[in-house]
Structure 1
Amino acid sequence: MTRLKHIRTAAELASLTPAPELAGWDANALEHHRPDAHWVLFDRNTVLARCSLWWRTVPPLPDERPGVIGHYGAADAESGRTLLEHVCNALADQGCTVAIGPMDGNTWRSFRFVSERGDETPFFMEPWHPPEWPRHWQAAGFDTLARYRSGLNPDLTHADPHLPALDAKLTAAGYRLRTLRLDDFDTELGRIHRLSLSSFRDNFLYDAMPAEDFLALYRPLRARINPELVLLAERDDELCGFVFALPDLLRSQQDTVIVKTLAVHPEQGGNGLGGWLTAKVQQRAGELGYRRAVHALMVDANRSRRISERYGEPMRRYVLLCRRLTS
């Protein structure tokens, strides 16, 4: 007989055995992501479904009090539906008006379901899950809140015809590009964090991340970063924009880079700086021997999507889901 259990520590969760479909998830995320609750559905000693809830500190949604569901996994549709019904009621009891997910607390961490997989294999740091999991949520009454995509530039040998003009224009305006200084990594991350807060503040579901959490998120990537693929645009020693790319470590051919983050200070927008950073990092990747670039995880309405469309087509689509709650 299945039962629901409120898990309070990673050690308590470790005392249970996950179903094979749930194996591989790091229970230490409970300590790092600090959810307000973590629930499991289990039978005897086997976890059949799991998820975490956030309601105290969550991304804002106009005219709503959102609750967030993340760390989701389920061995089967019935277990997933049972757990989702329970946690939606739990969020409603906390005064939430809408449930959003999947999202591991905020949009700085893993969120979204893959909705159209395409033919490409998963790339490094891409959210990935069994194809059944979005259907669990839809069966539980969740609808689409936002849509996202990843694009693919299949040929980095093709020169961007806009780049010479952008080079001349932005260099004349006093902008200079440099690569990331790995020997001063924390200082560089601090500057990138401050610019990110300004650049992303108007993004959908934006929630400011404290500097210490940002550093904890990116420090584990240090050994995997090629500083030649992280470009910073400065003018008068002020950071105005950056593009963060890294190799796709999941692809056996090692021929692909992931353009993960593009940010431009709002006061510097509209002058082509985002397009310049994208073109330059792809040019540099091609010089390093990479053949392809993934433009990763863009919200459909974002300017970065329009930049990406200059170079290729969508390779994957994603959704973020929501459900109206009633107390």
Structure 2
Amino acid sequence: MSLKIKKISPESADFNRFYNFPKGIYPEDSPKWKVPEDIDFKNLIAIYGVEDENNLLARAALYQNHNLNFQNQPTCCIGNYEAENHPKAAQILIDQVSEDAKKLGAKFLLGPMNGSTWGTYRFAESTNSPFFLEPHHLNYYQKHFLNAGFQPIRNYNSKLVEEIPTDSLEPENELIELQKSLKVNVRPINMTDFAGDLKKLHELVHQAFAHNFLFTPLEKEEFVQKYMSTEKILNQEYTRIAEDEDGNFLAFFFCLDDHLNPAEKRLIIKTIARHPDPKWRGLGQLMGSLLYRKAKKDGYQSIIHALMDEDANSSSISTKFAGKPINRYFLYSKEL
């Protein structure tokens, strides 16, 4: 029985069929449905599907983000990958995406990545004990990528703090004095002017992450629009901002509750950002210590430091607070 590949745009009559394809391969109670799938329409080239007599077997998107490069070479990425456990269909799909990426001038194809690191990216090593906002996929996807010639290029992890420590933290009075000496104010994000805080966070995040692996800039309007959608899921009291006397943002913790595991009161620390000026070194540790003390008082049973680059400073912050690895994630590259 022959397989055929189809290439469509978002305007195609088949777009909804391709978009809804995962509904046929994941159970109704899958963590997959807790967060809407993200598509980076700005950088999208096309969506591809492999069919067998009009039955879709696999689908993926090809993205060309002109700000994205790997090893200083033009780079495309393959994202929104979903497939039946059909190795031949997977191979046909990835080969076609690779061929088209090469025609666009790309020297590398990265994946899985939905357009940039602002979108969903990475495959999880294990999908057995998911938490909220963790990438969720079928466990044979990594094999599809490896069989198609991809190699892992970056490792990430999540760490769990099972018992929130306070004895090993700096005494609370010392933390308050340190905060005063730095002349910083640490406050919750302002939900009455959420867009206003997001506009200021745009500058901080771009300063903090400018030299991160595969970082690409995002326009302020896009940034605000993207993160306005987090309003209903973030934990306002724990999403904290450090600012100087003039109101300039210096550091940021983005936190939310683990909505996938409501039986346990668990906090997820999703993003940590600090201004790169060396004079603010240690500010992240200060905010982390204050947050841990508050979480202990508020009855949180555990904390997850989520989706950290294993080479990044946030991973060392997690280790300081006794985090132990609970899952790893991989990003892949294929030379074209």
Residues 194-203 or 22-31, more deviating: 22-31
* Distance of aligned partners of 1:149 and 1:33 in 2 relative to their CA distance in 1, 3 Å threshold: farther
* Alignment partner of 1:79 out of 65, 89, 114: 89
Structure 2: distance between partners of 1:284 and 1:7: 50
* Alignment partner of 2:310 out of 290, 294, 300: 300
Q: Equivalent residue of 1:224, what SS?
A: coil
* Distance of aligned partners of 1:27 and 1:38 in 2 relative to their CA distance in 1, 3 Å threshold: farther
Q: Equivalent residue of 2:299, what SS?
A: coil
Q: Which residue of 1 aligns with 2:62?
A: 53
* Distance of aligned partners of 1:28 and 1:285 in 2 relative to their CA distance in 1, 3 Å threshold: closer
Q: Which residue of 2 aligns with 1:4?
A: 5
Residues 181-190 or 158-167, more deviating: 158-167
Structure 2: distance between partners of 1:29 and 1:132: 21
- TM-score if structure 2 supplies the norm length? 0.89
Q: Which residue of 2 aligns with 1:106?
A: 116
* CA deviation vs aligned residue, 1:214-258 (integer Å, no higher than 9, x gap): 222221221222311111111112211111111011113141111
* CA deviation vs aligned residue, 1:26-57 (integer Å, no higher than 9, x gap): 99744756511111111222211111111243
Q: Which residue of 1 aligns with 2:145?
A: 137
**How high is the sequence identity, in percent, across the aligned residues?**
27
Q: 5+ residue gaps in structure 1? A: none
The offset of 1:287, in angstroms, is 2.4
Residue pair 1:14, 1:27 contacting (<8 A) in 2 also: no
Q: How many aligned residue pairs are there? A: 323
The offset of 1:272, in angstroms, is 0.7
What amino acid is aligned across from residue 250 of structure 1 in structure 2?
A: L
* Distance of aligned partners of 1:32 and 1:212 in 2 relative to their CA distance in 1, 3 Å threshold: farther
Structure 2: distance between partners of 1:168 and 1:209: 37
Q: 5+ residue gaps in structure 2? A: none
Q: Equivalent residue of 1:162, what SS?
A: coil
Residues 139-148 or 162-171, more deviating: 162-171
Residue pair 2:40, 2:114 contacting (<8 A) in 1 also: no
* Alignment partner of 2:46 out of 33, 37, 49: 37
Q: Which residue of 2 aligns with 1:67?
A: 76
* Alignment partner of 2:273 out of 258, 263, 282: 263
1:14 aligns with 2:16: yes
Structure 2: distance between partners of 1:27 and 1:316: 22
Q: Which residue of 2 aligns with 1:242?
A: 252
Residues 233-242 or 291-300, more deviating: 233-242
Q: Which residue of 1 aligns with 2:294?
A: 284
Residue pair 2:186, 2:241 contacting (<8 A) in 1 also: yes
Q: Equivalent residue of 1:92, what SS?
A: helix
Structure 2: distance between partners of 1:176 and 1:286: 21
1:322 aligns with 2:329: no
What pairs with 1:217-236 in structure 2 (closer than 5 Å)? Answer: 217-236=226-245
Residue pair 1:58, 1:106 contacting (<8 A) in 2 also: no
Residue pair 1:49, 1:74 contacting (<8 A) in 2 also: yes
* CA deviation vs aligned residue, 1:257-289 (integer Å, no higher than 9, x gap): 110010001115663111112222222222222
Q: Which residue of 2 aligns with 1:208?
A: 217
1:91 aligns with 2:101: yes
RMSD over aligned CA atoms reads 2.3
Q: Equivalent residue of 1:250, what SS?
A: coil
What amino acid is aligned across from residue 152 of structure 1 in structure 2?
A: L
What amino acid is aligned across from residue 21 of structure 2 in structure 1?
A: P
Q: Equivalent residue of 1:178, what SS?
A: strand
The offset of 1:189, in angstroms, is 1.0
Structure 2: distance between partners of 1:294 and 1:90: 39
* Distance of aligned partners of 1:246 and 1:160 in 2 relative to their CA distance in 1, 3 Å threshold: farther
1:149 aligns with 2:160: no
* Distance of aligned partners of 1:193 and 1:314 in 2 relative to their CA distance in 1, 3 Å threshold: same
Structure 2: distance between partners of 1:5 and 1:217: 30
Residue pair 1:163, 1:276 contacting (<8 A) in 2 also: no
